[in-house]
Amino acid sequence: MVTQNLRQKFLTISLALVLSVVWSFPNTLQAQVDATPAAPSLTTTDPTVDELNKALQAKQEQQKLLQERLQRYQDVIAEKQKVSASLKNELELLDAQVSKAELDLQSLDFNIEAKRLEIEAAQLAVDQKQEDIDAQQSYLAELVRTINRYDQQDPLELLVVHSSFSEVVNDIRATATMQDNVSEALTDLQTAKANLEREKADRERNKRELEGLQLEVATTVQSLDAQKTYKAQILTDTSSSEQQYSQLLEQSKQEQLAADSDIRSLEEKVKSKLQGAPSTSSTNSDFSTFTGNRNVQLAWPVSPTKGISAYFHDPTYPYRRYFEHPAIDLPAAQGTAIAAADDGYVARTMNGGMGYSYVLLVHSNSISTVYGHVSQINIAEDTFVKKGQIIGLSGGMPGTPGAGRLTTGSHLHFEVRLNGIPVNPLDYLP
């Protein structure tokens, strides 16, 4: 009887070992599986985050109403810019621009507050994702410890402690469940880490955008103050007289003609200088760029995404009764970086103080470019620049350095000249 019992137990153990090989799963106890902590659920919402999102939505609704008011002022400004120059029209234009600038500041304040709410919400999301990751790591560690504890026990010893073979099979099946849990926990952990990185990236992007908005506020405040000062100066200079205003415009016309004459004269001098450059010159390679017949393909000096506010010989140009518009005007925020349209020789950097400031570059094939209403000049005369190199900052806001009198808002005045004669820049731009 004893021999028969031993033989039966041996067969049971052998069968269990064979089954364990076939299943190819690590051993564990069903009780230990039941005792393993449940996988933590990943939190997707938070009451505080919800509150922040509601506040953000309210800000966006207010911003929408503000944008509608801004558009009305923008329409007024656009209409005033088409009307022939007069003191009455310019004062009305300045009033509209001041009102728009004040609304721009309100809009920026809304944007800044909304961006701060987004940053705060993103930070909360980052913190929550980190808690999810910590919980997932703890759960995974506990699963691994459970498997390791059972792996260290002798399989024969485990078989002996079971009261029936069905318990062995149940444990083997439970082990498969345990392995699935480990796989799912790893997948959840990887997903949580990926979400954390996205939340961190969103937070950093929002911080950079906030810094940009704060800089824009400073620029808008400066422009607003300049426009108010400029309006006061116009009233002082003209004594509210249309006749005196016309005289001021005539003076501005003469200044513009003088600048045009200066540019033509300089281009002739530069052309002679470049053609007569000695072959032994240390800058001969630079000069040779302009003596050849290289085709000129100009690049946009500032981004054209805001369109063109005045075209070459534009019939709606408000100062047309004084002279034709020899350029295109590219709307650009005050202080926007200006890039050289092509490799060029710096022939003139005219700093007009509170008057008209410009930069003249001479290129190959008798092409030159003029960048007007600049608020800052970053290059020196009698030097060479490369295509795309920053040569200064845009301006054009009335009453600001470099703007001069004949300007109605921040923009870049961009001329292209062929043999000293203004031509349509759009014929040379991509």
pLDDT digits (tens, 9 = 90+) for 315-354: 877 777 777 889 999 989 889 999 999 999 999 999 999 8
Helices within 152-241 (DSSP H only) = 155-161, 165-238
Return the number of other C-beta atoms located less than 10 Å from residue 375's C-beta.
20
- pLDDT mean over 98-120: 83
Q: Which residues share a beta bridge with 329?
A: 310, 413
Half-sphere exposure of 127 (CA within 13 A, CB side): 9
Query: Are 172 and 20 spatial neighbours (Cβ–Cβ below 8 Å)?
Result: yes
Which tokens is 307 given? 């369109």
Q: How confident is the model at residue 289 (pLDDT cuts 50, 70, 90)?
A: low
pLDDT of residue 160 exceeding 80:
no
Q: Which residues share a beta bridge with 403?
A: 356
Which tokens is 162 given? 């079971």
Amino acid symbol at 410: S
Q: Say if strands 390-394 and 344-350 run parallel, antiparallel, or are unpaired.
A: unpaired
Q: Which residues share a beta bridge with 328?
A: 414
Q: How confident is the model at residue 172 (pLDDT cuts 50, 70, 90)?
A: low
Q: What integer best gives the mean pLDDT of the chain?
A: 75
pLDDT of residue 13 exceeding 60:
no
Q: Quote the CA–CA distance of 90 and 94 in Å, as a whole number.
A: 6
Q: Quote the CA–CA distance of 419 and 427 in Å, as a whole number.
A: 15
105: left (phi over 0), alpha (psi -120 to 50) or beta: alpha
Q: Quote the CA–CA distance of 330 and 343 in Å, as a whole number.
A: 21
Give the burial string for 277-301 (b: 16+ CB within 10 Å, else e): beeeeeeeeebebbeeeeebebeeb
pLDDT at site 65? 75
More confident residue, 219 or 171: 219
Residues in the chain: 430
Counting Cβ atoms within 10 Å, is residue 174 exposed (0-12), middle (13-18) or buried (19+)? buried
- pLDDT mean over 35-60: 60
DSSP for 292-352? S-PPP----SS-GGG--SB-TT-TT-TTTTT----SEEEE--TT-EEE-SSSEEEEEEE--
pLDDT at site 22? 33
Domains, the chain, ordered by start: 47-238 (1.10.287), 246-427 (2.70.70.10)
pLDDT at site 413? 95
DSSP-based three-state secondary structure for 26: coil
Q: Quote the CA–CA distance of 227 and 221 in Å, as a whole number.
A: 10
pLDDT at site 379? 97
Q: Which residues share a beta bridge with 331?
A: 411
DSSP-based three-state secondary structure for 385: strand
Q: Quote the CA–CA distance of 284 and 233 in Å, as a whole number.
A: 49
pLDDT of residue 91 exceeding 50:
yes
pLDDT of residue 389 exceeding 90:
yes
Task: List the 390-394 sheet strands across, edge first.
Answer: 337-339, 390-394, 374-377
Which tokens is 380 given? 């020196």
Q: How confident is the model at residue 142 (pLDDT cuts 50, 70, 90)?
A: confident
Counting Cβ atoms within 10 Å, is residue 63 exposed (0-12), middle (13-18) or buried (19+)? middle
Q: Which of 30-34, 39-43, 77-81, 412-416 has the highest mean pLDDT?
A: 412-416
User: How many whole angstroms from its chain centre is CA 366?
Assistant: 37
Range with the poorest average pLDDT among 27-41, 225-239, 277-291, 366-380: 27-41
